[in-house]
């Protein structure tokens, strides 16, 4: 007997699978996955999810995030900043006129 289908809304979308242009795996083991994340000016990514994540910004950034619940949040910061984010599902966009880059360290449970 086949397993019941999971509604598309409930399936966690891996950013590397849905947006390889912006997300590249640099390292992975059973504890963490390290992503290099790069966006050009005004580039956008489709909705995807991350487990808890530590972000290390390599450049200044200005991003706009639309979350799965419809909330919209803008984030600005400087190169060298470090930020922790709980598990999230979002559609990010570079809201700035310059490219930005960060390292995302996804924590596995």
Give the pLDDT confidence of 9-57 residue by residue, as tens digits. 445 799 999 999 999 999 999 999 999 999 999 999 999 999 999 999 9
Q: Which two tokens stand for residue 12?
A: 């966690």
Burial of 88 (0-12, 13-18, 19+ CB in 10 A): middle
Tell me, yes or no, if the pTM score tops 0.85. yes
Sheet holding 48-50, edge to edge: 48-50, 88-94, 61-67, 72-77
Tell me how crowded residue 35 is: count the other CB atoms within 10 A of its CB.
Answer: 22
Domains and CATH numbers, the chain: 13-107 (2.60.120.10)
């Amino acid at each position: 007997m086949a397993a019941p289908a999971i509604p598309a809304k409930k399936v966690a979308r891996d950013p590397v699978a849905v947006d390889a242009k912006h997300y590249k795996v640099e390292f992975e083991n059973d504890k963490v996955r390290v992503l290099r994340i790069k966006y050009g000016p005004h580039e956008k990514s489709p909705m995807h999810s991350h487990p808890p994540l530590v972000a290390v910004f390599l450049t200044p950034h200005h991003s706009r995030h639309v979350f799965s619940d419809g909330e919209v949040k803008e984030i600005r910061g400087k190169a060298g900043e470090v930020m922790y984010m709980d598990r999230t599902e979002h559609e990010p966009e570079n809201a700035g006129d310059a490219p930005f880059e960060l390292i995302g360290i996804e924590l596995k449970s």
